Structure 1
Amino acid sequence: MKKAIYQSLIELSSNRINSFLLKSFTKSKMSKVINKSFVKVFNIDETEMEKPLHQYSSLQELFIRNLKEHARTIDPHPNSMVSPVDGILADVGKITEHCTFHVKSQDYSLTEMLGNPHRAEKYKEGTYIILYLSPSHYHRIHTPFTGTIVGRWALGNKSYPVNELGLRLGKKPLSRNYRLITEVKMSNNKHYSLVKVGAMNVNSIHPTHTKTEIIKGDEMAYFTFGSTVILLFEKDTIQLEEKIKAPIDVKVGMKIGSITK
């Protein structure tokens, strides 16, 4: 019961008024009283936190916490692709010739995801990776490859559930959620897009990287409420590690694949 209540504070609800109230409480100093219990319920490792638990003044501040400087190791090989988040690599597959991909028993249009057919065209026959972040996870997003940012744009003005239940039962939740997309050109002149999908009823994505050049492992943004990240790659851009079989737990900096030459 307690876990379900705490999860609702982070993933919010389908009711906009309820979401507003939950969001307000989560950001208030009153919510600090449940921080210790939240950490215990979700088995969060306090030794990784940048600050001692008692220094987080609200549940929101705890949720968007930074980690200690060396809590995550970024795989150093220049051709490696690393996980951009702590989370569950929930699905991976090929972007079909019809420009759709399959997520939790639903098909999603690549054009809807990226906003127009021109952007979607380059990713035909490419690869998608979906990563789901639960309340237990560190909620900052990093870059999987070094490269040059060639585009940033936002889409959507509504948010719907992005947790597993929402993906399974919702009506195209990913295509309707507010999302921020960053497109990056890599050293092999191929592109990937990192799609950050916000929680329901609140635009909860906060960019932190403003430069054009980005180094593998750099922080790009953070989520203030429940969230999902989708990576989209051009054809013949990456080769996944053989051990990566969805679903699998991943952490920032963990090698999940390699860039192709």
Structure 2
Amino acid sequence: MSPARTNLCYRDRQTGAIVTEPIFAETTLRWFYETVLGFQVLNVFLNNRVFCSLYGWWQNSPSTCTKIPEFVSCYGINLEEVELSWDCYPSFNAFFSRRLKPGVRPFVTQSEIFCSPCDGKVLVYPQLQDDTLIPIKGSSISIASLLDSEVAAQPYVGGSALVIRLAPYDYHRFHFPDDGKANLTKAIKGEYHSVNPIALARVPGTFCRNKRTVTDFNSKHFGRIAYIEIGALTVASIVQTYTPACVKKGQEKGYFQYGGSTLVLLFEPKSITFDSDLIKDSANGLEVHVLTGSQLGKQP
């Protein structure tokens, strides 16, 4: 298996610039997914709940605070946005799942506007195939497999999908994109592969194989939405902070602990129209980096 040394690029929606993505622990990630020995080591020793839990426990230890300044410097994290001073966090994991200052990620207030639930790199799929497949990164992901239920997939046949990939340096809390009623979250057991495109190229069915959680969200203005959080390598846990009940647009839903992660939102047919620039870039396989609360689409 020869390493694929192509750069990963995305469009920064705020500036319009095409950016080469800084890959967290790139050398290690490529060794795991682009060499035979590395992939064997990953699957035998690391791709399991025990390792990820232990790794998460270590990231919660006070000794990891020394990693924060280097992490901030390496990835250009804007500390002016962060709720607390970096030296107030008791561990690296606490900083990783940091909250931001009030008002830093304002949600568009118009009810007809659909807002991004998190920071990250977006791909949109305006019309899912009749057999409910999402063509993510060269593979076709079955909605039924993603939801772990043929019955749960039926409302989204012919609908739309939104995929947002969070890199380790992104703000890792996620929010409700609209007013509505959120039901109890269902946990689906699975594996712990990275969700970086390097890993997706090696394990195309990652989203259906990884540990994930699903929430049935009855949105006030965009119909029924399947709100899916997908864990990844070294993600110790997906934490839900909401209470199942009526929720408000912009309200925090939860957060990912240490590691890159992904959100997938599924929509019923004709319930959302994504912005044209996102549709164009997604059709060309180009991810677009967006911020929490910014417009991604609107009511048809």
Cα distance in structure 2, aligned partners of 1:203 and 1:40: 24
Aligned partner of 2:104 among 71, 79, 87: 71
Corresponding position: 1:249 with 2:270: no
Show the counterpart of 2:270: 236
Shift of 1:153: 1.2
2-structure distance, mates of 1:208, 1:20: 19
Amino acid in the other structure paired with 2:167? S
Shift of 1:19: 4.2
User: Could you list the per-position Cα deviations for residues 87-123 of structure 1 after superposition, in whole angstroms to 9, with x for gaps in the alignment?
Assistant: 1113434221111111111111110111211110110
Among 63, 70, 80, the alignment partner of 1:37 is: 70
Aligned length: 256
CA 1:151–1:258: 2 relative to 1, 3 Å: farther
Q: Is the 8 A contact 1:158 1:201 kept in 2?
A: no
Does residue 1:104 correspond to 2:137, yes or no? Answer: yes
Letter in 2 for 1:32: C
Q: Which residue of 2 aligns with 1:160?
A: 193
Q: 5 Å matches for 1:20-31? A: 22-31=55-64
What amino acid is the match of 1:36? P
Cα 1:28–1:6 shift into 2, 3 Å: farther
- Give the distance between the partners of 1:18 and 1:192, measured in 2 at CA: 32
Inter-partner Cα distance in structure 1 for 2:244 and 2:52: 33
State the 1:202 CA deviation.
4.8
**For 2:208 and 2:144, how far apart are their aligned partners in 1?**
9
Query: What residue is the counterpart of 2:25 in the other structure?
Result: 4
Q: Kindly state the Cα deviation for residue 243 of structure 1 after the two structures are TM-superposed.
A: 2.9
Q: Unmatched 5+ residue regions in structure 2?
A: 1-21, 30-41
TM-score by length of 2: 0.79
- The CA distance in 2 between the partners of 1:150 and 1:35, in whole Å, is 35
Once the two structures are superposed, residues 159-179 of structure 1 have per-residue CA deviations (whole angstroms, 9 ceiling, x without a partner) of: 222221222211511111111
CA distance in 1, matches of 2:54, 2:150: 38
- Take 2:125 and 2:76, find their aligned partners in 1: how far apart are those partners? 27
Q: Is the 8 A contact 2:225 2:265 kept in 1?
A: yes
Equivalences for residues 1-261 of structure 1 within 5 A: 3-4=24-25, 14=43, 15-16=45-46, 19=52, 22-150=55-183, 152-187=185-220, 190-200=223-233, 202-225=235-258, 226-244=260-278, 245-246=281-282, 247-260=287-300
In the alignment, is the contact (CA less than 8 A) between 1:93 and 1:101 conserved in 2?
no
SS in 2 for 1:51: coil
Tell me the distance in 2 between the aligned counterparts of 1:38 and 1:189: 38
Per-residue deviation at 1:129? 1.0
Q: Distance in 1 between matches of 2:23 and 2:157?
A: 44
> Contact 1:145 / 1:217 at 8 angstroms: preserved in 2?
yes
Q: Distance in 1 between matches of 2:243 and 2:292?
A: 20
* Preserved contact between residue 86 and residue 139 of structure 1 (Cα < 8 Å): yes
Unmatched 5+ stretches in structure 1 = none
Report the Cα offset of residue 7 of structure 1.
Answer: 8.8
Q: Which shows bigger deviation, 153-162 or 204-213?
A: 153-162
Give the alignment's TM-score, normalised by structure 1. 0.90
Deviations 1:211-249 (A, max 9, x none): 311111111110003210001000000011223233111
User: Identity over aligned residues, as a percent?
Assistant: 25
Give yes or no for contact 2:83–2:99 (8 Å, CA) kept in 1.
yes
